[in-house]
Structure formats: structure tokens, C-alpha cells
Structure 1
Amino acid sequence: MSASATHILCSSLTFAWPDGGEVFSGLQLAVGHGRTGLIGLNGCGKSTLLRLIAGDLTPAAGHIRTAGDIGYLAQDLILDTALRVDDVLGVATARAALHAIEAGDTGEEQFAAIGDDWDVEERARAVLDQLGMSGIGLDRTVGELSGGECVLLRLAALLLARPSVLLLDEPTNNLDLYARRRLYDAVDAWTGVLVVVSHDRQLLERVDRIADLRDGSVTWYGGNLSAYEEALAVEQEAAERMVRVAEADVRRQKRELADAHVKLARRKRYGQKMWDTKREPKVVMGQRKQTAQESAGKHRVMHAERLADAEGRLDEAVEAVRDDEAIRIELPHTRVHPGLGVLLLRDLELAYGTRLRGEWDLRGPERIALLGRNGSGKTTLLRTIAGELDPVSGEATIQVPVGFLPQRLDVLDDALSLVENVARVAPGTTVNGIRARLAHFLFKGARADRPAGTLSGGERFRATLAALLLAEPAPRLLMLDEPTNSLDLSGVSRLSSALDAYEGALIVASHDMPFLKSLKITRWLLLDADGLREIDPAQLPVSGGENA
């Protein structure tokens, strides 16, 4: 990529956290025009890299150069609840000056504040409308908005500013299907430089290239996520074939080395016999012995070198094969028999105004997908069922042990190790038993002794899921609130596989349609102003829709 075509250049980039944990050492990265999807396993440094490029973090060594100004949408977006919408959009000063002039204040400072931006309000409202937020007034405060609306508001501010480089870190987290469709449209329309970190498959299908961050370096793949997965499958098939070839070569070299040892042993025995019987002059036999020893030494070295070379090629071949382990769990104590009563909701009125009229029940090992717009009350409903919130009226009756995994993943005690966290909820299990079961969630050996507060988002999710599923008694109703928010693509696949082993009832609130469709959902429920009603998933548009 030529220097003129490079919009982000990272040279010999090195970064480590204050506790000494190294993230990058000599990273090289050059990003050109267009839309780039940055992917990688949880904890590999994707968000850290965006923060370095945005200037939120300072590298220990190396250089970062960007062409033009940068707009950055952080994953964990926090906005001051007292801010007004026009403050977040960056138009408050120009808007105030415009209103002052309209009221008769013709001071020079008012005109200076506006500059040439006389249509500031129209542009602001147009961007909000583009993102489906036309009903949000510029004078409203952030505290009146939902989490998803705050994400879209920050994106609107970036679209208004039109930076040369736009960085998005998990932008679809907390967005409902309708809001996601608006964001997809904004990404499709973006004509500048865009780098997006996401686990959202539908978003990654809209990029021009994939940057795969792994083991501190980036590998590039042309095309969208589907093209990347096809190319990676071909690579991995070739890598596995090379492993088989290398393994066969190692076996052959070992056999040849063993055969060489047998031949040399025979020669040694023959030479010793000749020496003992003194059939030839001593000088001749001594010369033959020396020659044989030198030949044997060279022979051994030759075969040992061949074996070492073969083993080296095998190591290289194995290194090229990706071994992203899957969560493996067996949960027989979670089984719910068909027809068994699990949950009953009767004339339920939730905090913040949502009403569920009449009765709704869950029986047997059903798998429920809970859909709804941002602010419709999905999280409030799950927290009410879990007993964290009291209903205003009505009943929520749970008839089996329940486990609830909230969006914020605040179930764990950050000061305790993973072993200690699980021991709190499973006091009847030995430490060795806990370690063995944590290993199935990919926390092996010393990893199980790490404090919960040091985990990455994906690791924390796995640890929280482990604590819930390993609790005593085992949950026979499991409720997950936006579980894919903190997971990479591999983590989403792992979660889907892990839930295959869960035999209890399941309620999942999510806007991630590909993930939901992988869970063998038995009922799709929509929560809206009319309450809770069953819908046909075939009616849901692939990229979200007004009714979802």
C-alpha cells in the first residue's frame, strides 16, 4: 500500500498495561481507504488498538500517523446524563448563537460562533432522522435516552463532524433490530475511512476487507466476513494437510534413525568379534575401528539432523493450524422434563410502566427468544423474574432454580479468583472439582486463579456463565440478557455450542438474529406497548425492521 493511500499507519507499535501485561510488541499496521472490519479473539487487543489510534492511550514505543481528524465511538460509551442532545452533537454553541440573532442580538460574537453554519439545526435533525431518532428533540437531556439511543446519538455526532477516519468499537451493542438497520445504512453510506470492531455478522458483511488480529500481528483478507471465512477454511485445510505430511515425515525419520542404530550396533558387534579373534593385524583392526566410529558418528548426526528438521517442519505446520478451543460442558442436573411448569406470569405490571395482561407460562425445556425495541422493558422483565426488581402489581412465579446473566456481567466479585467465585455458589464442590469444571470453560491451571477483575470482556462472560451453570442447585431456567455483547465471533460460536448441552428452559433477550437462530428457539416473543405476544420469526427482516 503506497504512503499516499495509507490513512492509518502504525510502525513498530508497542504497548503494555501498567501491571506489565504486554498487548503489542512491534506491531505494523497500514489501513487504506474504505471499510475495514477488525476481528480477533477476546483479549487480543482490538479495542486497545482503536484507543491507541484515537489517542486515548499512548504507546510505549513506535509511531501512529493518521491522515486527517479521527472520530471514535467507544465500546463502553458513557455520556454525562445532564448533557443536552445538542451538546453531544457539538452544535450547542452555533445553535445558541443562531437563536440569539433571531431574537435580535446582532453582536459580532454571535456571527463568529455561527460562521457559515446557518443550517446547523436542519443538518442536526437530518442526521438524527437518518438514524431513526427524529422524535428526539435537541433540547432533551442524555438522561432521558436509552442506552441504545445514546450510542446512536454519539454516532450522529460523528456523522455530523465527518471525520477523515471513523473508528467504531462494537457499535451494535445495545441496539435493537430497528436501530441496527439504521446503523447498517449509515455504514453502507460512509465514503471515508472506517475501521469497525464487531462480532455482528451482518455488520461485517458490509466491509471491504477483514483485518485479523492474532498473536500481536495482523493478517489481511480481501472482501467481507463470508469471503474471509471461505479463505480461512481453505488456509486451514491446507495447514491441516501439511501437518499430516509433516507427521508422516517425522515417523519416517524416526524409523530411519532406529534402523541406523540397529545397523551400527551390528557393525560394532562384528568389529568387536574381529578384535577378539585377532584375525587381522592389530594396526589394521585399529584403523578399521576408528574409521567405523567416525562413520557411525556421521551417520547418527545425519539422521538426528533429519529428524530435527522434520520435527521443526511439524512444529511450523501445527502452528499454522488454529486451535480455538470450544467450551465443553455436561449439565445433566439442568434437565427439565416436558410439561413441567417452569414460570408463570399473571397480570404483571413492571417498574417503568410495561404491562403484561393475562397469563403467560413457560413449561418444559422451551427456548424463548425475547425481542423488543430499546426501552420496551426486556431487561426489566428479566430482572423482575430473577427477583432483582419487585413488580408494581401481579405475579411472577418461578417453579425451578433460576440463573440470570445480566448485560453488565456484575455477578462476579472482582477481588476473588474464579475458583473462589464458583466456590461461593457451589459450596459443596471440592476445589479440585471446581478446577476440573472450570477447565471445560477454558480456564485451565493458573487461569482459574486470576482475579475476576483482570478478565477481558469475553473472559468475564465465560467466567460468569461458568459460575451460573456450576451453581448448586443447577439452574433449570437460564435467562441471558444480550449475551453476545462482549463476545468475539469465536466466542459467539462457543456460547451457541455450550448452550447445546443445556437441558433446561432458556430465555434469551437479544438483537443478534444469527445467534438466536442457532439456539433452536421454540417460541419467539415480542415485548412492546401491547404486552407480550408470540410472533413468527419468518416475518422478521434479515437486517432488522420497524416491528422488531
Structure 2
Amino acid sequence: MPTTRPTSAPVVSLTGVSFAWPDGTPALRGLDLLVPPGRSALVGANGAGKSTVLRLVAGELAPSSGVVSVAGEVGYLPQDLTLDAGRDVADFLGVAATLDALRAVEAGSVDPAHYDAVGDDWDVEERATATLARLGLPDGTLGRRLGELSGGEVVQLGLARLLLARPEVLLLDEPTNNLDAAARARLYDVVDAWGGALLVVSHDRELLERVDRVGDLHDGAVRWYGGGYSAYVEQVEAEQEAAERAVTAARSDVRRQRADRQEAERLLAQRKRQGARNAATSNMGKGAQDFWKNRSEKHAAKYRRLHDDRLDAARERLDDAEARLRDDRVVRVDLPATEVPRGRVVLTTSGLVLRTGAEVDDGALDVHGPDRIAVVGPNGAGKTTLLHTVAGRLAPAAGEVSLRVPAGLLPQRLDVLDDARSVYENVAAAAPGRDRTEVRAMLARFLFRGARADVAAGALSGGERLRATLAAVLLADPAPQLLLLDEPTNNLDFAAYDALVSALAAYRGALLVVSHDPGFLDDVGVDRVLELG
């Protein structure tokens, strides 16, 4: 059964921690969290504050109130590494100064400053090269610049920097984003072999199977479940079944208490009428009548309070039971304008060579009707470049792309939205022909109801941003009949993942999707696979 606290001495402790963003929006309120040694995962809905917790522990953010303490040095891999494209890899890894000093000594320098810079780290180049190789980065990476690396290679490089630093506490935020299958397998090996404390935020179910415990951040509190992802799901499902039974019982009790309350009122009214008749036909004096009337009213008030208290208690039990139920809603939307008749030509290519140098055989990317095609391959093979070429954002190195229908691109970085504008304003701008009421009705089906549609795009969580971007792309005018998706499951919690899958189930056009997640490709019903590289 789950526990509210881990049982081992904590390596990370948050006590009464609150945090609010500069605009005053609260992210955490009075959070208590104890993370023990070993491998721990933190899960929860998008916007629950998981990444904020990691940033507080890493020292990137300061709490508005409360105390954060960590036993040991922290290494932190954020969700999206912001890198200077011109920076050297060696400098990013923190070994450039040592390498420069080492080469100076090898060239004959006797400057004490060079020896001080090297210290005991004479094997720094071998360690760095071995660490890069362990993570699958190609030979020569140490001498490259960051701008020459793919998104997946950047994630691997960020992990390599942490491994070289050897922190006591390792924080990983969605570390499998953008990683191909081989890179994911290497990351899993790192997690399996990690000897210090680990706290990971991830939607990757295979990664979550490798942890010792799962902490569920829900309604501002963390509840711990022993075991990996499967054990967590099993325990949560058992809790939800119990909560559903409790809700059913509590609703029945409320109905019963409400009926009893109505019956009590009927009986009191009946007694009042009978009392009035008795008083009218008796020879009782006015003083005696007033006495019995007062006594009857007191009894009636006491009787009402008894039934009111019982009804209030039943309602409280219902509220408590409903609070234990998860609100994992799914997107429900019908998109008839995206429909493409079977057999209709959607996309063809001729002699296509991407700017990465990858060649696409004629016919390999031809799309007809509502075809669903997965584009797979190792990091750096050109998958993202292919989608941007099809969308017209990049020109091919050679050959041509013939796109016969409107297309919509959901890019990996979800940079379609204007962060300063609200969700509603972003979607309305993409579909200027739709009236205000229609846009808001459609946004409600993407789970942006009421005031939530007026939140600035820059304040959205990862999963919310994906839903908002998906709405802006799918509800555009003209509607896209070819949808291009680049790693769409990055940063999604499990409910947001289900929302994405349900939205794509309603999509009637053709689909070209880049993903390293085989489970997702199965869920969206891919018809065939194009492998690059």
C-alpha cells in the first residue's frame, strides 16, 4: 500500500515549500517532500509542479517560503537544455581548461599554473571520451561545437557532463526526450548502474520500471508507492476502484438522507396540522396551548437539525470520496474538415536530398489518402529536417517535394504559439474565419474551458502547451489534411498522452510522425515505417 513518506533517511527534503511565478501565479503551496537514497521517480499531471520541484532542489529557483535541503552535490539535467551553438563541447563538459593545461604540459610547459589546473586529473581526456562513447556519442564529439549536434545528442551530452561531475544526487527531467532507441537503452543502463541518489521526472514507462519507488504529486502533496511504474499503476487502480465504490455508496447515502429529511418534514407538517386540530377542538386554555405549541416547535427544530446534520455528514463523505477520484479527461473533438478520401494523392517527392545529406528514395515518402507513416532512425539522421522540408520551412539540398493538401506542423519545441497571447488568441489567429463562440467551444473540447482558455501561452505546462499547439494546428483555416508530428509525446504526463491519442483518433487526414516511442506508434495506428539513416 502507498505511504505518505519514504521510510529511509532522506537525501532531499522540502519542508513547507511554496513557490510562485513572477506574475503571482502559485506553482507550489506548502509542499512537504522527503526523497530517500536510491532511484526515485516523480510523476503527476502536467502543471502539478514536478519540474519546479527539480529546479528548486537544483537551486535554479528559490522558494517563496519553506526550506529545501540536499545531502550532497546536485547534478541536474533540465527538460530543455538552452545551449550556445558556438560553444565548444569540451567547454560545456567542464573539461576545456584542464585539457588546455594538459596539452601545454605535454608540449613542454613547466608553468605551475598548468600543473595546478590539471591537478590529479591526468586522464581527463580518456574519461571524457569514454563517457561520451558510453552514451553512444560518435568519435570526435569532444572536438565539436554544440550547434553541430542533434537534439538527442544534446541530451546525451548533458548527461555526459553530469557523469563526469559525479554528483551525489542526480536530477533528470524527461531525460529520454528526443533519444532514439539505442540512446534510450544506454540511458537505462546509466540509471541501472547509478550508485547515488536519483530523482527522475519522466513519462517513459520503461524508464519508470527501473526505479525503486514512485512519488505521485497530486493536489499539492506527494504520495509514495513502492516499486516501478507497473506497481504504481496497479496500486493507483486499486485505490480508484475503492474510491469509485466509496463514491457510489456516498451518493446512495446522500439520496437516502435527503429522502429521510423530506419524510421528516412531511411528518412534522402532519403533526403540526394534527396539533392545530386538537387545539381547536379542546377546552385547553391559551397558556397551555402556547406551552404545547412551543414544545412542539422545539422538538421539530431538534428533529430537523438531526436530519440536517446527517445530510451534511453524508455530503462531506461524498466530497471526500470524489476528491480521491482522478480527473483524467480526454480530448473529444470531431474534425471532418481534415478528411482525405482514400487514394487521393497527398504528398510525393522526386530525387529528394535533405540538407543533412540524407537521401529519400522516390516513392518511399509518397502519401495517399489517410496514410499514417512513421519516420524513424538514429539521432542526427535528419528526421526533423525531413518534416520541416515537407512543411516548406527548409529547402531541400536537391530534388523537390510536391504537397497537394494543406499541412500542419507540430514541431518538437512547440514554438507555434505566441507566448504573450492567450490560448484563445493563438487559436483564433490561426483560424480568423471562425467566430468567437465556435473557437471557445472547440477549445473546451481540447480541455481549455472557461478562464483556462485566457491563460497566456507562456504560462502553460508542457502537456498543456502541446494541447494548445495541437488545437492551433488542427483548428487552423484551412484545416490541415496532412499532419506532421515531431516527437509529440515529449514532456507529456499519462493523462496528456491519452488526450493526444484521443485527438489523433478523431483526425481524418494523413499523418507523418517522428517518434522514438514504439508504444505511441502502435496507439496511433501507423500503417508503414520510413527509416532514415
Bucket of the pairwise TM-score, normalised by the shorter protein: over 0.9
Residues 457-478 of structure 1 deviation map (CA, whole Å, 9 limit, x = unaligned): 2212111111111122221111
Residues 244-273 of structure 1 deviation map (CA, whole Å, 9 limit, x = unaligned): 000011011011111110110011001111
User: Who is 2:79 aligned against?
Assistant: 75
Query: How far apart, in 1, do the equivalents of 2:8 and 2:400 lie?
Result: 65
Match of 1:229 among 230, 233, 239: 233
Match of 1:350 among 354, 359, 364: 354
TM-aligned CA deviation for residue 4 of structure 1: 7.7
User: Who is 1:384 aligned against?
Assistant: 389
User: Who is 1:480 aligned against?
Assistant: 485
Provide the secondary structure at the position in 1 that maps to 2:363.
strand
278-287 vs 260-269, which deviates more? 278-287
User: Who is 1:397 aligned against?
Assistant: 402
User: Who is 2:266 aligned against?
Assistant: 262
User: Who is 1:6 aligned against?
Assistant: 10
Q: Is 1:157 equivalent to 2:188 in the alignment?
A: no
Match of 2:334 among 330, 352, 356: 330
Query: How far apart, in 2, do the equivalents of 1:55 and 1:273 lie?
Result: 79
TM-aligned CA deviation for residue 108 of structure 1: 2.6
Query: How far apart, in 1, do the equivalents of 2:232 and 2:358 lie?
Result: 43
User: Who is 2:528 aligned against?
Assistant: 523
1:136–1:493: structure 2 CA closer, same or farther, 3 Å change rule? farther
Percent identity over paired residues: 55
User: Who is 2:378 aligned against?
Assistant: 373
Match of 2:189 among 173, 181, 185: 185
Match of 1:362 among 348, 352, 367: 367
Query: How far apart, in 2, do the equivalents of 1:484 and 1:477 lie?
Result: 19
Q: Is 1:511 equivalent to 2:516 in the alignment?
A: yes
Unpaired runs of 5+ residues, structure 2, are: none
Q: Write out aligned runs for 1:76-95 (5 A).
A: 76-95=80-99
Match of 1:425 among 409, 419, 430: 430
Q: Contact 2:329–2:495 (CA<8 Å) still a contact in 1?
A: no
1:458–1:3: structure 2 CA closer, same or farther, 3 Å change rule? closer
Query: How far apart, in 1, do the equivalents of 2:245 and 2:94 lie?
Result: 56
383-392 vs 161-170, which deviates more? 383-392
180-189 vs 235-244, which deviates more? 180-189
User: Who is 2:414 aligned against?
Assistant: 409
Q: Contact 2:38–2:197 (CA<8 Å) still a contact in 1?
A: yes
User: Who is 2:105 aligned against?
Assistant: 101
Provide the secondary structure at the position in 2 that maps to 1:427.
coil
User: Who is 1:452 aligned against?
Assistant: 457
TM-aligned CA deviation for residue 502 of structure 1: 1.1
1:20–1:238: structure 2 CA closer, same or farther, 3 Å change rule? same
Q: Is 1:275 equivalent to 2:279 in the alignment?
A: yes
TM-aligned CA deviation for residue 31 of structure 1: 0.5
Query: How far apart, in 2, do the equivalents of 1:523 and 1:23 lie?
Result: 42
Q: Is 1:501 equivalent to 2:491 in the alignment?
A: no
Q: Contact 2:14–2:67 (CA<8 Å) still a contact in 1?
A: yes
Query: How far apart, in 2, do the equivalents of 1:489 and 1:363 lie?
Result: 32
Q: Is 1:35 equivalent to 2:39 in the alignment?
A: yes
1:462–1:137: structure 2 CA closer, same or farther, 3 Å change rule? closer
Q: Is 1:133 equivalent to 2:137 in the alignment?
A: yes
Provide the secondary structure at the position in 2 that maps to 1:158.
helix
Provide the secondary structure at the position in 1 that maps to 2:30.
strand
Q: Contact 2:17–2:31 (CA<8 Å) still a contact in 1?
A: yes
Q: Contact 1:44–1:214 (CA<8 Å) still a contact in 2?
A: yes
1:443–1:137: structure 2 CA closer, same or farther, 3 Å change rule? closer
422-431 vs 204-213, which deviates more? 422-431
Q: Is 1:242 equivalent to 2:242 in the alignment?
A: no
Query: How far apart, in 2, do the equivalents of 1:425 and 1:121 lie?
Result: 51
Unpaired runs of 5+ residues, structure 1, are: 529-548
TM-aligned CA deviation for residue 424 of structure 1: 2.2
Query: How far apart, in 2, do the equivalents of 1:345 and 1:408 lie?
Result: 26
Provide the secondary structure at the position in 2 that maps to 1:515.
helix
Query: How far apart, in 1, do the equivalents of 2:73 and 2:202 lie?
Result: 22
Q: Is 1:194 equivalent to 2:198 in the alignment?
A: yes
TM-aligned CA deviation for residue 156 of structure 1: 0.8
Q: Contact 1:347–1:359 (CA<8 Å) still a contact in 2?
A: no
Q: Contact 1:125–1:134 (CA<8 Å) still a contact in 2?
A: no
Q: Contact 2:202–2:208 (CA<8 Å) still a contact in 1?
A: yes
Residues 420-449 of structure 1 deviation map (CA, whole Å, 9 limit, x = unaligned): 222223222210111111100011111112
User: Who is 1:148 aligned against?
Assistant: 152
Query: How far apart, in 2, do the equivalents of 1:94 and 1:405 lie?
Result: 42
312-321 vs 488-497, which deviates more? 488-497
Q: Contact 1:274–1:280 (CA<8 Å) still a contact in 2?
A: no
Q: Contact 2:7–2:36 (CA<8 Å) still a contact in 1?
A: no
TM-aligned CA deviation for residue 3 of structure 1: 9.8
Query: How far apart, in 2, do the equivalents of 1:35 and 1:3 lie?
Result: 14
